[in-house]
Structure 1
């Protein structure tokens, strides 16, 4: 059994899927062991298969199934219309919000609301944690490029400081790593169409577009304005260490195929079920380098 009672969370959907596919996906997730589900568009405001009211309706449905729901905002704001939508999310009055941009932090702190910060918020030291905690942050998702040693040292400082008794730590533990955001849409560029008239073409790539080196090695996944890792980050075998460090929640990122099995494997390990030790880890297309302080693309035994 884990030394610390960690919980599984399901991060926000990073890809652009048809509305019915989204509903079908979350209907399946309602039956899994994830305890917290993050909902909302974090990549591009033009992805409007689900409008804000529909995300809220889905949140209520999942809450009625016993899930804790958090609404996620955009990681890169570029227009007043996007800020207007963000204000509505922050003012929803029902669900906690994951701030993925400092504009959301400001909007939430001005109202005295508690919130979560996503991995796109740069938190690298105790001073930033304390500042955000004073502004209302009660859970933070560690930036994906940080590793176990850095996290362990930082959480030791948090414990010694003693001024953040309600702080929860969440670690991105499975999925293509969200690495960067840009004003340019890479999917539109690939299709040779302008960003302002993109024809919503990223809906045709439900797992993003894999970009390879000249040698044919998968390097990145292009997902609209977002750059992801090409390989799946997998910390399945690091859950015991996370518990020892003091991690509270373990994030699994949505993907189109096989996620129910992934969640089951993580849940088996969290609960010490021996079946998780019998099934070998499939390493092809997976990485874990950042956790060990190595280049992220690497796999460390």
Structure 2
């Protein structure tokens, strides 16, 4: 099983983004994803900047470089930008919207099906495989058992399994909305947001009346308040047929997290459970944490 680094979900300054990706270049990683997946207003890096950065990283890292697309398109300009992204042939595309699937298929380019595509069964997977999908990033709420059963269903259909990636660490992307929650929290109209989400490098925490951390608001995206961490479920992930474990970037301490995961994949014992969650993997409410179990 290989480690992948997902696209940065938060809005960081350009210098921080560039420094973050350069820090990954010497690590043994399977894939590195770059690109804006949340909001087209976030323009610290343009598409050209991301492509340039991808080329730079590819010269110093053995990892596969992937460019990720937006998950929610709201304007013709965003559709045109997506078409331009899917027209470049230097790097594989992570399609987070069916328009990206269409553009890649139209040009007969392979792609990765991102977690925002809501693919839950073998028949839907078969359609995307026919369109050129090489890897399926399962929706974050899929359990290990559901993934295992879906892959077995593919086997029964006589279709070769794609690579399978699971969101294994980070704040879970739960929902997208046309409304910008970060702008609303600052009493700003969405069209006059002044890109205020750059002030929240891991989103705005939302608590229940009982002070339980429920969500993190990240522009138009709602994230889980807790961090999912499947590091104690590595054996079950392998058994379920998972080929790639995705770690989602965080503002602090992320390199240490990568090294911890690498150690466990190489045979070290998983650390003791913390306040992280893994409920979805076990078919339970996502915010729960369960001990070592098979899928």
**Alpha-carbon distance, 1:241 to partner:** 1.3
Match of 1:78 in 2: 74
Instruction: State the TM-score, normalized to the length of structure 1.
Output: 0.94
Match of 2:21 in 1: 26
Instruction: Describe the superposition over 1:153-198 as per-residue Cα deviations: whole angstroms up to 9, x where unpaired.
Output: 1111222322235x11101100000000000000000000100010
SS of the residue aligned with 1:120? helix
Residue 133 (structure 1) aligned with residue 151 (structure 2) = no
Match of 1:296 in 2: 286
SS of the residue aligned with 1:45? coil
Gaps of 5+ in 1: 1-5
**Alpha-carbon distance, 1:247 to partner:** 0.9
CA distance in 2, matches of 1:264, 1:160: 38
**Alpha-carbon distance, 1:266 to partner:** 1.1
Q: Comparing 155-164 with 287-296, which one deviates more in the overlay?
A: 155-164
Residue 281 (structure 1) aligned with residue 272 (structure 2) = yes
SS of the residue aligned with 2:115? coil
CA distance in 1, matches of 2:143, 2:68: 24
Residue 210 (structure 1) aligned with residue 205 (structure 2) = yes
CA distance in 1, matches of 2:195, 2:88: 27
Instruction: State the TM-score, normalized to the length of structure 2.
Output: 0.96
Where has structure 1 moved over 6 Å in runs of 4 or more?
A: none
Match of 1:185 in 2: 180
CA distance in 1, matches of 2:272, 2:229: 10
**Alpha-carbon distance, 1:29 to partner:** 1.4
**Alpha-carbon distance, 1:239 to partner:** 1.1
SS of the residue aligned with 1:184? coil
Match of 1:146 in 2: 142
CA distance in 1, matches of 2:28, 2:247: 11
**Conserved 8 A contact 1:133-1:164:** no
Residue 107 (structure 1) aligned with residue 107 (structure 2) = no
**Conserved 8 A contact 1:33-1:263:** no
SS of the residue aligned with 2:169? strand
**Alpha-carbon distance, 1:281 to partner:** 2.8
**Alpha-carbon distance, 1:138 to partner:** 1.1
Match of 1:3 in 2: none
**Conserved 8 A contact 1:210-1:218:** yes
Match of 2:218 in 1: 223
Match of 2:156 in 1: 160
**Alpha-carbon distance, 1:282 to partner:** 4.8
| Corresponding residue pairs, total | 290
Match of 2:46 in 1: 51
**Conserved 8 A contact 1:232-1:287:** yes
Q: Comparing 153-162 with 133-142, which one deviates more in the overlay?
A: 153-162
**Conserved 8 A contact 1:33-1:264:** no
CA distance in 2, matches of 1:208, 1:77: 21
CA distance in 2, matches of 1:33, 1:211: 35
Instruction: Describe the superposition over 1:106-130 as per-residue Cα deviations: whole angstroms up to 9, x where unpaired.
Output: 1111111110011000111111000
Match of 2:189 in 1: 194
Matches within 5 A, 1:34-49: 34-49=29-44
SS of the residue aligned with 1:38? strand
**Conserved 8 A contact 2:145-2:240:** no
